[in-house]
Amino acid sequence: LAKTTQPISMDSYEGQEVNITCSHNNIATNDYITWYQQFPSQGPRFIIQGYKTKVTNEVASLFIPADRKSSTLSLPRVSLSDTAVYYCLVGEVLDSSYKLIFGSGTRLLVRP
């Protein structure tokens, strides 16, 4: 599975848009990019998954450039409840979706 690099932490304020970038230089052709969110004392929760260009759902957008060597998770208008750790993972959906390799993630702190 491709190794990922994310910022260790980020600070933001309520109502702002937050963009968390993940670097994955060794991404393979069949790899997808997936983001999980983890609140303290809880298991991770799936946010969004994509392969190329842009994916949007009700909570976030995922931007993937043409070379796919990085990706950006965008959280619109964050609230205090978005304070969490965000993990970027890269791997094949079918073969690896059940054996996720987590890095240290990005700790997002949203301030009032």
Contacting other proteins (CB under 8 A), which of 29, 58, 99, 112?
Answer: 99
Largest Cα span, the chain = 41
19/104 with CB nearer other proteins: 104
- b/e per residue 86-103 (b: at least 16 CB within 10 A): bbbbbbeeeebeeeeeee
Q: Does 55 bind other proteins (CB under 8 A)?
A: no
Contacting other proteins (CB under 8 A), which of 29, 43, 58, 112?
Answer: 43
* Strand bridging mode 70-75 / 84-92: unpaired
Chain residues that interact with other proteins, rule: CB under 8 A? 36, 41-46, 49, 87, 93-94, 97-105
